[in-house]
Chains A and B, each alone.
Chain A
């Protein structure tokens, strides 16, 4: 129980840290936000007025606290460009991004896990060298390159998928499934290669452990030793990697959404940056960082379920 309490405290601390960093970064911004919104030749009285409504006349700490309490209430400010609540904009595009992420993670595990195990089991065969080279390639191709290559192969040349456009799941589930496949695959291609690699290394490390020798001395078959003993032990370091992959996948989805013109958070971010829509950028950053931190928290909990040593140690 103490372990979980510690984890939750750490989790809250990280969220606060992220919010402070984001807030500070957006405070050192050159120029007066009120001036930026209203333009250079605005009436000084008007600017003063806006400064007051934006709380710009108050101290940093006070402003941070106001911003934080509002953020906790779900109020992340109003977008300059869309003149709508940031939280509203985010929640609209949330489903696209989160489903893309879940889809990609599922594909990553579905491809990466068996591949890694296969390579580890057949480490001496020729085919493994080929797969290893392929996985090296997978790690090196940036997801957006992969996305464009996939578009050119499957949409332009083969015509199996529509290259761009998004069909909401509420309209057509199969249509949604189809439009999300190529974007997810572009992300999963690289991340599953990373996952497979870590699994291979992890299994190879576990195979050298003493307890494997003990298992052999029981006369257990190779298959049982792998399934009952080695696999679970190998997954522990891999879970850490999965946590990092979640951050990577979310980051990757920012670009991929632009490649495939998906109306998700990534698309929102790039538009907000090109239009310098500060409240929107700030809100999005805190929001995404929050999601990543929550995922990592989840990974920690998963960790403690798989590894009994964690709860008692430390």
Chain B
């Protein structure tokens, strides 16, 4: 039974392809906890902007730091931020959307209006505004990106709760005297796990993309901590002397985002059939 299920997932081309992309980077990150080819922050002006070689598999950056090591450490930030944003944004979004869908009426119209207003707001602008107000730190970055991902979760869970709130099993639970909270968490929520996984993977890729964008603007992760976005902006400065450097962070960001998007697409296809 379990094997059948696995087979069903792996037979989906999008899902498998995405899983492979994400796994490669994930493995790279895990290996990085135990072994790094070089100190990612060790500056060596003698070795600046060396193209990939046996010694530095991905070359060195403008300060002579080993790019592969920086990539291995930098992927931590991407995964960490993505993970935190999905958890925080998901919790907040599902709660809001759940309340809106389950209770309906005034609660619904207020929450929906708020979410619609936020949808109309460019996400990056919102994140920028929050960072401007609260200052520049990883926690604030996570906060800003979480707020950005709330509407997506809220919409998903609202429509889910709306669909199930009048279903037979909910009525049955009500007759048994279950509390609203119990019905929402134990009875309705498990039915939304499939859609939740689709939304979560999509938000994961969105968070990674936004983090990279903000770090690129020097408004996200602060140096010397390596992050893909920052590496990209550093690489852009050296684009005339070392054109190959740009390719590495650009490809990594794309690979990570594409990977999660493909997984999300794949899951969606699997659940629809």
Contacts and interface: CB of A to CB of B under 8 A. Distances in A.
Contact between chain A and chain B defined by CB under 8 Å: yes
Interface of A: 14, 17-18, 21-22, 25-26, 28-29, 136-137, 139-142, 144-145, 148-149, 151-152, 156-157, 163, 243-244, 247-248, 250-252, 254-255, 258-259, 269-270, 272-274, 276, 278, 281, 285, 288-289, 292-293, 296
Q: Which of B122, B216, B236, B240 has the most CB of A within 10 A?
A: B122
A144 B113 CA distance: 31
A156 B219 CA distance: 27
19 contacts: A14-B120, A28-B133, A29-B133, A136-B258, A136-B262, A139-B261, A140-B205, A140-B257, A141-B250, A145-B232, A148-B239, A156-B239, A248-B122, A250-B122, A254-B124, A255-B217, A258-B217, A273-B128, A273-B132
Nearest to A289: B121
Contacts of A149: 246-247, 250
A151 B237 CA distance: 12
Interface in B215-243: 216-219, 232, 235-236, 239-240, 243
B122 A292 contact: yes
Nearest to B228: A145
Contact of B257 (A25, A141, A251): A141
A142 B117 contact: no
Interface in B249-273: 250, 253-254, 257-258, 261-262, 265
A251 B119 CA distance: 12
A252 B120 CA distance: 14
Given A157-B243, A270-B217, A142 B257 contact: yes
B232 A255 contact: no
Interface string B133-172: 1000000000000000000000000000000000000000
Contacts of A28: 133
Nearest to A10: B113
A252 B217 contact: no
B129 A141 contact: no
Contacts, number: 122
A300 B113 CA distance: 15
B246 A251 contact: no
A247 B122 contact: yes
A245 B232 CA distance: 25
Nearest to B250: A145
A269 B128 contact: yes
B99 interface: no
A247 B119 contact: yes
A86 to B, nearest CB: 14
A96 B117 CA distance: 26
B130 interface: yes
Q: Which of A244, A269, A281 has the most CB of B within 10 A?
A: A269
A21 B147 CA distance: 14
A147 B246 CA distance: 11
B64 interface: no
Given A254-B122, A289-B120, 11 more contacts: A14-B120, A142-B209, A145-B250, A145-B253, A148-B236, A251-B122, A252-B124, A259-B216, A273-B128, A274-B219, A293-B120
Contacts of B246: 148-149, 152
A23 to B, nearest CB: 12
Contact of A247 (B121, B236, B253): B121
